[in-house]
Amino acid sequence: MKKIESCKCSFTQRMVGDGCRYCNPQYYIDILEEQQKETQRDLDALEAELEKHQWISVKHRLPEKSDFDKPVKIWTTYYGYVSEAYFSDEGEFCKEWDGKRYYSKITGVTHWMPLPQPPQEDEG
């Protein structure tokens, strides 16, 4: 561990690294910039995770057609409640999918969201 000494500047501050905040401010600026970058990375990750758990307007964005076999939650004006559905490769929400074709097209969908990952099995 590096010994903390008194700085040689006129402010007689405790010295960390190569000097105090008065005679070597760049040392502290570098530390603060790295902390800011790390905080921004954490914030970006949290915002990405939050977006996974919010309703998305169909006017704003639809599920990816490549994810056609993954169910999503939907809100419909026709049914007036939350339901599970599939987004077909033809760009429609459908109630059922048997691995080959879609059944029961759902109308009036205003919002959707991805389903969370299934729980992990406990080992033991």
Q: Output the pLDDT for position 87.
A: 87
- How much is the pTM? 0.56
pLDDT band at 45 (very low <50, low <70, confident <90, very high): very high
Q: pLDDT tens digit string along 58-93?
A: 999 998 877 777 889 999 887 677 788 888 877 888
Higher pLDDT, 19 or 65: 65
Residue 37 pLDDT > 50? yes
CB 107 within 8 A of CB 73: no
Query: Domain coordinates of the chain in residue numbers?
Result: 5-51, 56-114
pLDDT band at 1 (very low <50, low <70, confident <90, very high): very low
State how far the Cα of 48 lies from the Cα of 40, in Å rounded to an integer: 12
Q: Which DSSP state fits 19?
A: B
Residue 30 pLDDT > 50? yes
